[in-house]
Chain A
Amino acid sequence: GAVVSQHPSWVICKSGTSVKIECRSLDFQATTMFWYRQFPKQSLMLMATSNEGSKATYEQGVEKDKFLINHASLTLSTLTVTSAHPEDSSFYICSAIGKAIAKNIQYFGAGTRLSVL
């Protein structure tokens, strides 16, 4: 149980284009989803917290107009990187917590590697 699916696993795009990443909780309802960014050999940096049906809460320094987050249902959250540039290349990972599963345990997706040319 507690499976989080992330799609796509790898994406290459041209500079200036937008990329959408999906995060789905497959076997539980995710009351809260989190989006992280991870650079090579570094730790996970929280970008934003997303609650179903409400606006995402962004961490300090994260541009909300550049990283659009939508959490339209209890099983799906999306992160859209708008007008992507090479410096946005990174590993993006989502996680989710739910009411029916152990409190405070974030279950993670497999991540999406974004390469912007």
Chain B
Amino acid sequence: GESVGLHLPTLSVQEGDNSIINCAYSNSASDYFIWYKQESGKGPQFIIDIRSNMDKRQGQRVTVLLNKTVKHLSLQIAATQPGDSAVYFCAESPGTASKLTFGTGTRLQVTL
């Protein structure tokens, strides 16, 4: 069936460097994408979203890039901080449906 997956299960980044977390999706009908951050023992926290009519969207220290040609989504975190350490999930929603399909997750480890 359709799925959303990530390339790297664990990413280790030095504090102050930029982080790039990647996500591949297989549902070409996907219209909406979200990145969530989940700290240990907590629920996912919304980071940033993007619709399929855009290829880039920026937030505070974060940027999401969408490449519909290759069905690829990425989250860039600038000047990574220890507080950014968490598991990051991408999720997609086809059309206007609200149901989300989550990717497998990437653990970001920030080293000092």
Which A residues are closer than 8 A to B by beta carbons?
4, 6, 32, 34, 42-46, 49, 93, 95, 97, 104-111, 113
Quick one: which of B43, B46, B101 contacts A105, CB cutoff 8 A?
B46
Quick one: which of A46, A49, A93 contacts B43, CB cutoff 8 A?
A93
Quick one: which of B42, B98, B104 contacts A106, CB cutoff 8 A?
B98
Instruction: From known contacts A104-B49, A105-B34, A105-B49, infer whether A93 and B44 are also in contact, taking CB-CB under 8 Å.
Output: yes
Residues of chain B at interface, number, CB under 8 A: 21
Chain B nearest CB, measured from A97 CB (Å):
6
Chain B positions 29 through 45: 1 when the CB is less than 8 Å from some CB of chain A, otherwise 0:
00010101000011111
Chain B residues lying within 8 Å of A42, measured Cβ to Cβ, are 104-105
Which B residues are closer than 8 A to A by beta carbons?
32, 34, 36, 41-46, 49, 89, 93, 96, 98-105
Total number of residue pairs linking A and B with CB closer than 8 Å = 51
- Bound together, the chains give a CA A108 to CA B37 distance in angstroms of 11
Chain A nearest CB, measured from B59 CB (Å):
13
Chain A residues lying within 8 Å of B96, measured Cβ to Cβ, are 104
A97 touches B98 (CB 8 A): yes
Chain B residues lying within 8 Å of A107, measured Cβ to Cβ, are 46
Quick one: which of B43, B89, B93, B105 contacts A104, CB cutoff 8 A?
B93
Mind listing 19 A-B residue pairs with CB under 8 Å?
A32-B98, A43-B89, A43-B103, A43-B105, A44-B44, A46-B101, A49-B98, A49-B99, A95-B44, A104-B34, A104-B96, A104-B98, A105-B49, A106-B98, A108-B44, A109-B43, A110-B42, A110-B43, A113-B41
Instruction: From known contacts A43-B104, A44-B102, infer whether A108 and B45 are also in contact, taking CB-CB under 8 Å.
Output: yes
B46 touches A104 (CB 8 A): no
Chain B residues lying within 8 Å of A104, measured Cβ to Cβ, are 32, 34, 49, 93, 96, 98
- Bound together, the chains give a CA A108 to CA B46 distance in angstroms of 8
Q: Closest chain B residue to A102 by CB distance?
A: B49
- Bound together, the chains give a CA A22 to CA B5 distance in angstroms of 30
B105 touches A106 (CB 8 A): no
Q: Closest chain A residue to B32 by CB distance?
A: A104
